[in-house]
Amino acid sequence: MKKIKGKMQQLYAININYGCYLALLEGISAVLGQRSRLGKYFFYRKHEAAKQYLCKKYKAIIDKYREEEYCESVVDFNRIWFFWWQGEQSMPEVVKLCYQSLHNYYDQSNIFLITQENVHNYIDIPDSILKKVNNRNFTLTIFSDYIRLSLLSKYGGIWLDSTILLTNALNEDDNAYFFSINYGNPAMAYHVCMGKWMTSLIGVGQNTGIEFCQELFEVYFLTENTHLTYLLLDCVLALAYEIFPSFKVSIDRVKIENTQVGRLDQLLKGSSDRELSTILEVQSIHKLSYKSIYNKRNYEYLKRIVERSNE
């Protein structure tokens, strides 16, 4: 009941701020899900409508960047961004394990833990944006997308969500201008990311496409009073993909690997441990969830693997 009430409040907010058409698409998509062909169609339509809204509302920003010279440099794999707003001591067990896994493959000097206490050491956040977050106009999840873009546009590096667990170092490509998970799956064409990236893991150097995304995101936060869609970051990245040919080329060149990024999360929920060792060998990047309920034996096995890698 609480979940339904929350969804109704979200639909009401979308209707008030963005219009009944976007609210209708959001509602239909929520009911249908993404499994059926019809569900995928409405999932696609709602994000196309969101992108159209952004194009119309923030046309000045798009036009500005279209006229600028496009610049990009190779991905900086020596700067790892990890975000937990409440600080290391408040991390849930799964987040702590993911954070620990980073230290198995990267020096402390290369890992930057961003928290409420130190974020202002790296980026300037307008007071009005912080006020909207504190007033819950925007969720902490959407706010973390803003921080992600602000850090990447200013410094470059690799952003890893707090529930990304590594069982090996990232596969560095000295010639890459964009780094993420490319699923290489035509069946994901309906999704706003088209299976070409995963916002939980994004790596860049200096990049005009990301700078565009950051500015649009910041002006959006300053202008709007509620989020348009949960996948707002994907929508903005998709706009950059469509607008900047060089950004599109860089994304299309991402190697197809680690495509079973969510498999470990599924296996940890089950009672069997037969596939655990296999997935840990063939997959080095894993997306977990601190909200998932894991089988105790399987999770303890994973913990031992992570702790052993640190020896």
What tens digit of pLDDT does each residue of 23-80 get? 999 999 999 999 999 999 999 999 999 999 999 999 999 999 999 999 999 999 999 9
Q: Tell me how many degrees the CA angle 162-168-174 measures, rounded to the nearest 5.
A: 95
What tens digit of pLDDT does each residue of 127-144 get? 999 999 999 999 999 999
* Domain layout of the chain by residue ranges: 2-67
Label residues 237-274 b or e (16+ Cβ within 10 Å = b): bbbbbebbeebbebbeebeebbeebebbbebbeeeeee
User: Cα(86)–Cα(102) distance, rounded to whole angstroms?
Assistant: 19
**Bridge partners, residue 165, by sequence:** 286
User: Cα(221)–Cα(179) distance, rounded to whole angstroms?
Assistant: 26
For 231, the token pair is 């996948």
Report the range of poorest mean pLDDT among 6-10, 131-135, 210-214, 245-249.
Answer: 6-10
**pLDDT at position 38, please?**
96
Reported as a pLDDT band with limits 50, 70 and 90, residue 274 is: confident
**pLDDT at position 49, please?**
97
Q: What percent of the chain has pLDDT over 90?
A: 87
Query: Which residue has better confidence, 297 or 2?
Result: 297
Taking the alpha carbons of 190, 35, 139, 198 in that order, is the dihedral positive or negative? negative
